[in-house]
């Protein structure tokens, strides 16, 4: 158990999935929020859902954010071919990334500098992060011969949400019927859990920053249960193995 001060929602875009062999990072986003501001956002979301006004609902839900945010979004030349199927979902290709810097030691320094100025302890949160984002960041950091801050911890929201639904916790009032409310979603993909808990899919997906913001809202919809789970289930970034070496 750790008393987290800052949650840093984290997402990577890359040249492919783990199954593609050796995915390389093409975009990184960090969206940092004060831990206690998630509780406040939870109340705002509940309120918004209660007063659902169909016309602007998606716009209103997406405009709910803590006032104090620190964000870092970097595009990276991946040094590998991006297949058209991947470009179709991310909008990133070897042409529009041509003049971007590759992931090097400066990139790692920039990530460390950003994280070091946040109130600590700092916890990175990524959806499916244990299988993908954390080990992939680790691989790029290792290749660039740089370490991430030694006290940074990580939590995988995909695992967390599955656990929370399995425990049939009291969820927020969703726009669904009472019956559906306590049923788990069919899939725990970010888009699907966002729809399940907030009543709509995110307007944008597969952009690193857009995915961080969608994840921030989705976890805030869970409120205290999510915060407790994160504090009890985070582990040190230094304990992760690189996705490739
Ligand atoms: N990805 C993929 N095919 C998919 C989904 C994702 O190759 N169907 C890869 C490319 C994305 C990366 O995973 O840049 C991260 O996914 P996401 O945008 O969901 O964070
Ligand atoms: Mg993404």
Q: At what angle do helices 35-50 and 224-233 cross, to 10 degrees?
A: 150
What's the confidence (pLDDT) of residue 180? Answer: 42
Is 147 assigned a catalytic role?
A: no
Could you read off the pLDDT of 184-221 as tens digits, one per residue?
999 999 999 999 999 999 999 999 999 999 999 999 99
208 within 8 A of 97, measured Cβ to Cβ = no
| Distance from residue 179's CA to the centre of ligand 2 (Å) | 31
Cα-based torsion angle of the residue sequence 79, 83, 84, 85 in order, rounded to the nearest 10 degrees: -130
Q: Taking CB atoms and a 6 Å cutoff, what residues make up the pocket around ligand 1? A: 11-14, 16-17, 86, 89-90, 206, 211
| Distance from residue 178's CA to the centre of ligand 2 (Å) | 31
Q: Which two tokens stand for residue 107?
A: 């990139």
| Distance from residue 15's CA to the centre of ligand 1 (Å) | 8
With a cut of 70, say whether residue 54 has pLDDT above it. Answer: no
The residues pairing with 30 across neighbouring beta strands, listed in sequence order, are 10, 72
Q: What is the mean pLDDT of residues 130-139?
A: 98
With a cut of 60, say whether residue 241 has pLDDT above it. Answer: yes
Ligand 1, atom nearest to 127 Cα: 20
CA–CA distance, 109 with 107 (Å, rounded to integer): 5
Which ligand approaches the C-alpha of residue 26 most closely? 1
Could you read off the pLDDT of 172-194 as tens digits, one per residue?
555 544 444 469 999 999 999 99
| Distance from residue 97's CA to the centre of ligand 1 (Å) | 17
Q: Around Cβ 119, how many Cβ atoms within 10 Å?
A: 11
For ligand 1, atom 5, the nearest C-alpha belongs to 17
Could you read off the pLDDT of 16-44 as tens digits, one per residue?
999 999 999 999 999 999 999 999 999 99
Lowest mean pLDDT among 39-53, 111-125, 138-152, 224-238: 39-53
- Compute the mean pLDDT over every residue in the chain, rounded to the nearest whole number: 93
Q: pTM value?
A: 0.94
What's the confidence (pLDDT) of residue 58? Answer: 81
Ligand 1, atom nearest to 20 Cα: 7
> Which of 26, 74, 86 best tests ligand 1's pocket when mutated (most atoms within 8 Å of CB)?
86
């Amino acid at each position: 158990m750790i008393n987290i001060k800052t949650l840093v929602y984290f997402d990577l875009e890359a040249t492919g999935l783990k199954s593609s062999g050796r995915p390389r990072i093409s975009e990184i986003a960090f969206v940092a929020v004060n831990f206690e501001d998630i509780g406040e956002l939870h109340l705002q979301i509940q309120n918004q859902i209660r007063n659902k006004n169909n016309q602007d609902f998606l716009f209103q839900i997406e405009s709910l954010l803590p006032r104090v945010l620190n964000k870092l979004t970097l595009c990276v030349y991946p040094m590998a071919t991006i297949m058209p199927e991947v470009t179709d979902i991310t909008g990133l290709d070897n042409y529009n990334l041509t003049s971007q810097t590759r992931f090097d030691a400066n990139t790692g320094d920039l990530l460390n500098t950003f994280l070091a100025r946040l109130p600590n302890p700092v916890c990175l949160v990524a959806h499916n992060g244990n299988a993908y984002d954390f080990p992939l960041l680790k691989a790029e950091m290792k290749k660039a011969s740089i370490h991430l801050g030694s006290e940074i911890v990580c939590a995988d929201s995909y695992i967390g949400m599955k656990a929370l639904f399995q425990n049939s916790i009291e969820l927020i009032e969703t726009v669904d019927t009472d019956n559906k409310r306590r049923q788990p979603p069919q899939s725990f993909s970010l888009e699907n859990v966002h729809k399940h808990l907030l009543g709509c899919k995110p307007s944008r997906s597969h952009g690193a920053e857009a995915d961080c913001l969608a994840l921030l809202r989705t976890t805030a919809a869970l409120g205290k249960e999510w915060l407790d789970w994160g504090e009890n289930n985070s582990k040190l970034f230094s304990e992760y193995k690189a996705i490739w070496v």
